[in-house]
Amino acid sequence: MDGSVMQVIEFQHVKPGKGAAFVRTKLRNVITGAVIEKTFNPTDKFQDARIDRKEMQYLYNDGDLYYFMDMESYEQIPLNKSLLSENFKFVKEEMICRVNSYKENVFLVEPPMFVELAVAECEPGVRGDTATGASKNATLETGAVVRVPLFINEGEKIRIDTRTGEYIERA
């Protein structure tokens, strides 16, 4: 749209009592990340953009550069930290991530939906305080902090949903 690659985040088809129908949308520019709201006629047409999604293995980081390896060609590519999503804090070395690009330009790195990580540090749970469904902070091996139930201890592996950053279960 207007020379930019846009992704539809939300849309709503509206059919008012009188007048023509229209589509209300929320769009994100995949390159810049800017979000706009726009209304369209239902008959409007746009050219499809070819987005390449490739599975790549996260190797290591060196300052603001994060290195990923193509699993087919074994080619290593460095990516700037600004291309990583907020939920990349749950990714550790050797995990497989999805790298999205448009015309060979990478614009987003998606971590796996669910990861299993060890709890590096957490306070011990208080015995008998389970009726309230209480939780405590736990620092994971990647340095990320999540809320976990009181029965989780240091060294245990837990499963995390990277989209929400929430504890799911013991691994």
**Do residues 105 and 56 both lie within one domain?**
yes
Sequence-distant (6+) residues with CB within 8 A of 75 are 69
In the three-class reduction of DSSP (H, G, I as helix; E, B as strand; rest coil), residue 47 is classed as: coil
Share of residues in the chain with pLDDT > 90 (%)? 12
Q: What H or E segment, with its residue span, contains residue 59?
A: strand 51-62
Tell me, yes or no, whether 144 lies in a domain: yes
Total domain count, the chain = 3
Single-letter amino acid code for the residue at 82: S
Domain that holds residue 122: 114-170
Facing residues of 98 across strands? 55, 110
Distance between CA atoms of residues 132 and 121, nearest Å: 23
55-106 pLDDT, tens digit per residue, is 999 999 888 898 999 888 888 999 888 788 788 888 888 899 998 888 888 8
